[in-house]
Amino acid sequence: MTFTLAIVGRPNVGKSTLFNRLVGKRLALVDDQPGVTRDLREGEARLGDLRFTVIDTAGLEEVTDDSLQGRMRRLTERAVAEADACLFVIDARMGVTPTDEVFADILRRANARVILAANKSEGRAGQAGVFEAYGLGLGEPVPLSAEHGEGMAELHAALMPIADAMAERRAVIADEAPVTDVDVIDGEDAPDWAPRPGRPLQVAVVGRPNAGKSTLINRILGEERLLTGPEAGITRDSISLSLDWDGVPVRLFDTAGMRKKAKVQDRLEKMSVADGLRAVKFAEVVVVLLDAAIPFETQDLRIADLAEREGRAVVVAVNKWDLEADKQGRLTQLREEFERLLPQLKGAPLVAVSARTGRGLDRLREAVVSAHAVWNRRVPTAALNRWLGEMVTAHPPPAPGGRRIKLRYATQAKTRPPGFVVMCSHPDRMPEAYKRYLVNGLRLDFDMPGTPIRLTLRGQGDRNPYKGRTKSTPSRLRKHLGKPPHKG
């Protein structure tokens, strides 16, 4: 049976470590300092024959105001209310604290299915805490060690009644890296890469801190699913969320804000940035979110260039557009800056949005779907070679050393992103300027704006038909050797 399990508890009791243990991957950031997890992170858990969705939550704090900790608590309480079961984790080495007692009472009222787990119970240091856990009134505690993998069999036994009681099955989609660099073979049908529930379109939203990434995703979802606020750097983990975006199955990745490398000194922030870079590799389309007040900062350009080098389709979105006065003039200026500062992404969609009001989200969806379609585009070999002949006629390749480079034919070798191979003489002498001329021609003539294009030049070797043959014996030597003269 499939069900949803929310892991809750005080900060630093080992919730994220247990989450990673259940999903079998290091998806959640783990550190010794409390309060690392802030958002809700979902994953596909496997425990024996059980398959279920597990949710890692922020540590419960005894605050109810609008502070960061208060918003984190409300988000956790919401996850508890929506989950099928709740796993309440305490620190067996510290024993039961007054805060544990408060939250145990809250969980009894909020969720009918609560399992008590005493983490860090390995060795004698945690035995006393396991016995104290009986006093919380949540039934028999499950002693376990998330770090060492102990107690998983006992946890499996505690979850089995919940799995058997579930009548509704829920589809769980695993986080998988997208298929890239797909070989193209003429004469074969192109694979269908249209998004569907089993393989959604994977979109990562990246940008500098406080650009509004989480707010934008909440607006797309239509609910306050991610933690937001005026503080910069709230998001730490890369959170993936599945939704149906106006008929298109999509998996959205919210990432931590990426500052300049020289400013990232804290170990936790380094882990967050690394997690964000990993999300870019998991995505098919990368939405680079800019702040309308300070767009195209150096870090924005680096992030966009990273997505292009990873071979992902790129969409540039300018957030906080509701604060702009001269919208038309400002948009024209941004397009000019975009073409000048990011020539490698020439023609990529530039969309103005407002995460606060929801303006421009329909155009953003269209841009994402269009960029994904271009990313998968295939060009017939015949059309490609006609194009190559026209390009050579318009601007012949250079002639280094007095011998002109000959471009013989071209073919598309890969998709996701599009990759082309041009057979030519002396590929090592072809200047970069002429390669850019060919790439820009591909973008313009085959309608592939913004997507990364890989162009490879290959030589055909020496086409001399006599290469490798031995020379014939001269006639004056044939007489000496007694061979008859050659007739012909």
Name the binding residues for GTP: 9-16, 56-60, 119-122, 207-214, 254-258, 319-322
User: Token match 């073979």: residue?
Assistant: 185
**Which residues, other chains included, contact 265 with Cβ-Cβ below 8 Å and sequence gap of 6+?**
none
Smallest CA-to-CA distance from 286 within 298, 302, 271 is with: 302
Contact criterion met (CB below 8 Å) for 286 and 315? yes
Report how far apart, in Å, the C-alpha atoms of 60 and of each of 75, 130, 134, 146 are.
10, 20, 20, 19
**Which residues, other chains included, contact 373 with Cβ-Cβ below 8 Å and sequence gap of 6+?**
none
Q: State the Cα–Cα distance between residues 340 and 334, nearest whole angstrom.
A: 10
Query: What is the per-residue DSSP string for 214-229?
Result: HHHHHHHHTS--S---
Contact criterion met (CB below 8 Å) for 258 and 276? yes
Report how far apart, in Å, the C-alpha atoms of 383 and of each of 179, 410, 421 are.
26, 10, 14
Q: State the Cα–Cα distance between residues 275 and 113, nearest whole angstrom.
A: 33
Which secondary-structure segment (H or E) carries 206?
strand 201-207
Q: Which two tokens mark 17?
A: 């470590």
Contact criterion met (CB below 8 Å) for 207 and 289? yes
Smallest CA-to-CA distance from 379 within 438, 458, 310, 309 is with: 438
Residues in the annotated binding site:
9-16, 56-60, 119-122, 207-214, 254-258, 319-322
Q: State the Cα–Cα distance between residues 387 and 277, nearest whole angstrom.
A: 37
